Amino acid sequence: MPQFETRRPVPQSPDQMFALVADVEKYPEFLPLCEGLVVRSRKERDGKALLVADMTVGYKAIRETFTTQVLLNPAERAIDVKYLDGPFRYLDNRWRFNDLPDGGCEVHFFIDYEFKSRILGAVMGSMFDRAFRMFSEAFEARATKIYATPA
C-alpha cells in the first residue's frame, strides 16, 4: 500500500491553486503519466461540484484507465477523490489549500493506493511512486505558467 504526502508552499493564492487542480480536463497537458482524462458527469449543488472522471495513465506499453469520483469544495478549498473502478484495490487522494501568513498558500497533497494485481503493482508501482513525487512540481510549474503574477 504505497502512500505519498507532501506539503509545499507556493506564491499563488489558495483559490488559484484550487482552481488549477480542479481543472481536471487539463491534466493530460502537463501531468506525468496522464494520457487522457474524460469527465463522464458533473453535478453542482450547494456550491460544490461532484465529477465522475476516467483517467488513463500509461508508461511505455502499459495503459490503464480508472474511474474516480471527485468532490470539489471551493468553500473549504478541498478536493477529495474517491476510487470507483479500475486496476486499484483502493485509492484515496486528497488536496487541501491553506493560506500562508506571508501570502501564497500551502498545497497539501495526499495519496494512498494499492493495485489489485501484484504484477501490475510491481511493474507500475515504482513508476507511479516517481510520478506522484513529480505531481507537486508539475502543478507548481503549471501555476507559474498560468498565474505569472501571484495574486
Mean of the per-residue pLDDT values of the chain: 90
What sections of 1-151 are H helices per DSSP? 14-22, 118-146
What pLDDT, in 10s, does the model give residues 21-50? 999 999 999 998 899 999 999 999 999 999
Span 127-144, average pLDDT: 82
What pLDDT, in 10s, does the model give residues 2-29? 788 999 999 999 999 999 999 999 999 9
CA–CA gap between residue 150 and residue 10 (Å, rounded): 9
The H or E element containing residue 70 is strand 62-73
The pLDDT of residue 1 is 62
The CATH number of the domain covering residues in 3-146: 3.30.530.20
12 in Cβ contact with 150 (< 8 Å): yes
User: First-to-last CA distance in the chain?
Assistant: 38
Q: What are the boundaries of each domain within the chain?
A: 3-146
What pLDDT, in 10s, does the model give residues 114-124? 888 887 777 66
